[in-house]
Structure 1
Amino acid sequence: MNELPDSCAPPKALPNKRETLKRILEAARREFVGKGLADARVDDIAQAAGVTKQLVYHYYRSKEELFACVLDESSAQAMNELVTLELDHLAPRAALRALLQGMVQPYEEGELSALAQEGIRFHESRATPRNSFTELAPRLRLKLKKTLERGISSGDFRADVDPDMLLAVAALATTSAWVNRYTVSTLCGLDMASAPDAETWRRFSVDFVLSALERERSSEHPLTRPVAVFKAPGSG
C-alpha cells in the first residue's frame, strides 16, 4: 500500500505558505470533481492555483497525495459540522432527524458526492495515516448514542438497537444514493442531480431510519413519495 504523509497543510506554515496551499487545494478540488483522479492534470491544477507545477510537487509528492489531502479536507469539514451539531435542546426524534439530515446536507449542497465516489476506491487500496473521518468517528458515534439513549428513556425509541450498527446503516441509507446514482436511478427512477428527486430521497431515507427506531410507529411521516415521481428508465 502507498503511504501518505501525516499532514496536508502544516499548522506552523507561514501565512503566505498557508495561502498558497489553500489555493492549490481549492484548484485541485475543482479539478478532481470535474475530471476524477485518473484524468486530473497537475499542470492544470498549478495553472488554476497560479503556481508552478514544480511548487505543487514541492508540497505534494504526487497527484495521489494531493487527492488524499483534498479528500481529508472535505471529510473534515463534513464531519466537523456533524459532531458540532447542537442536539440536546431538541426532543429525541427531532434531534435524530437533525443528525440524519446533517449527514445528507454535504452531498446535496457540496462537491462531496463526486469526491466520495473516487474516495471509496482510493481508500480501499491505500493506507492514509491522516484521515479526519476515522479521527472524528468516535465523536459522531457518541453523539448518536446519547440521542438514542434519550429517546429510549423518553419512550420514543425501542431499546433493542445497537448504536454503532444503527449509525453505519443510517449513513449508508441516507448518503449512498449520491455515490451510487445508477442503482437509485434504475430501481426507483430518481435522478439525484435533480433537486426535487434528491429531496424525495432525503425525506424518504431519513423517515425510513426513524421508523426503524420508533417504539410505536408514527404515521406523521409515511414511507411514500409524491405521486408521479417514478419514471421507468428509458421511458423519456
Structure 2
Amino acid sequence: MDEQPSTCMPLKALPNKRDTLRRIAEAARCEFVSKGLADARVDDIAHAAGVTKQLVYHYFRSKEELFACVLDDSSAQAMNALVTLELDHLPPRDALRALLQRMVQPYHEGALSSLAQEGVRFHESRITPRNSFTELAPRLRGKMKETIERGIASGDFRADVDPDMLLALAALATTGAWVNRYTVSTLCGLDVARAPDADAWRRFSVEFVLSALERERSSRHPLVRDAAPLSAPGSG
C-alpha cells in the first residue's frame, strides 16, 4: 500500500521514510533560510535531499505546506527548550533571567532569525495545519506565572503585574530585534547579525524586562549598551 501524503512530518514513521523526511526537511530549511519562501525552489530542495521532486510532493502537497512544517519544527524546538527549562532551584530573579535568556538564545542562530521574519508574514495570511507554538504556549504561560508568583512571595517582584502580558512583552522585547532588524538598526545602530550587537541587545532587553518587574531595581545591571554586571556592595 502506498504511503499517504502528510500534513506535517509524522512522529511515527518507518525508518527509511523518517530518514527521507529528515533529509527533505533539512534541505528545505536551508533553501527557505537562504532564499525565502517566494524564491525557494522545490527542485533545489529535492536535489539537496537526494530525492525526486515528485517524492517531495508525495509527502508535502505544496511548497507552502513544506514551509509550514519547517516553521513548526523550528518553533517546536524553541518552545520545548523553554517549557522544559528547570527553574525551581533558582532564586526568582535568576530564574526569570534564565528564562528570558533561553527565549532569545535560538535567535543568535541566523537561520531562525530569517525563518522568524518569513514566518510572521506567513502566519498573518494562512492557517497552518499544526502549530507547536500555540500548543505549547499554555505551558510557557504557566512557567512564567509560577516564576512571578515565587518572586512576589519572596519580595523580589511587584505584585501588580499581569503574567501573560509580561510574557508577551518579554517575547517582543527580547526577540523583536531579530524580526525587525531594520527598525533596531536605524534607531540605535545595532545590527543583530553581528555577534557583539546581538549580545548587547540580549543583555539590554533581558534587564529591561526584569526592571519592569523588580520591586526594587538592582543597580548591578544598568540599562546601558555595553554594561557588564557591577560588583555587589562589599564584594571584590
Q: Same fold (TM over 0.5)?
A: yes
1:73-222 to 2 correspondence within 5 Å?
73-109=73-109, 111-222=111-222
Please, what TM-score do these two structures have when normalized by structure 1? Answer: 0.92
Asked whether 1:42 is paired with 2:18, we answer no
Equivalent residues of 2:6, 2:60 under 8 A apart: no
Shift of 1:7: 4.3
Contact 1:9/1:21 (CA < 8 Å) preserved in 2? yes
Distance 1:111 1:62 in 2: 22
Aligned positions, number: 223
Report deviation, 1:110: 5.2
Contact 1:174 1:202 in 2 (8 A): yes
Give the partner amino acid of 1:82.
L
- Structure 1 runs not aligned, ≥5 long: 228-236
Given that 1:6 and 1:130 are in contact with CA atoms closer than 8 Å, whether structure 2 keeps it comes out as no
Q: Displacement of 1:41 after TM fit?
A: 0.2
Following superposition, the deviation at residue 226 of structure 1 comes to 2.5
Q: Does 1:69 align with 2:63?
A: no
Distance in 2 between the 1:12 and 1:196 partners? 42
Shift of 1:6: 7.7
Gaps of 5+ in 2: 228-236
Residues 27-75 of structure 1, C-alpha deviation per residue, up to 9 Å, x if partnerless?
Answer: 0000000000000000000000000000000000000000000000000
Letter in 2 for 1:166: L
CA-based RMSD of the aligned residues comes to 1.2
Q: Which protein has greater RCO, CA pairs closer than 8 Å, 6+ apart?
A: 1
Where do 1:45-64 residues align within 5 Å?
A: 45-64=45-64
1:211–1:217 CA contact under 8 A, matched in 2: yes
The CA distance in 2 between the partners of 1:116 and 1:90, in whole Å, is: 30
Measure the CA separation in 2 of the matches of 1:174 and 1:6: 34
Paired amino acid for 1:95: A
Q: Is the 8 A contact 2:7 2:60 kept in 1?
A: no
CA distance in 1, matches of 2:14, 2:82: 30
Partner Cα distance (2:6, 2:101) in 1: 31
Is the CA contact 2:148–2:163 (under 8 Å) kept in the aligned structure 1? yes
Greater shift in the superposed pair: 125-134 or 137-146 = 125-134
CA distance 1:164–1:6, change in 2 (3 Å): farther
Measured after TM superposition, the shift of residue 111 of structure 1 is 1.5
How far apart, CA to CA, are the structure 1 residues paired with 2:203 and 2:219?
14
Between the aligned partners of 2:198 and 2:131, the Cα distance in structure 1 is: 28
1:26 and 2:16 aligned = no
Q: Does structure 2 conserve the Cα–Cα contact (< 8 Å) formed by 1:6 and 1:129?
A: no
Q: Residues 6 and 100 of structure 1: is their aligned pair in 2 closer, same or farther, counting only changes over 3 Å?
A: farther
Q: Deviations over 1:69-112 (max 9, x none)?
A: 00000000000000000000000000000000011000013511
Q: TM-score, normalised by structure 2?
A: 0.92
Aligned residues of 2:110 and 2:193 also touching (Cα < 8 A): no
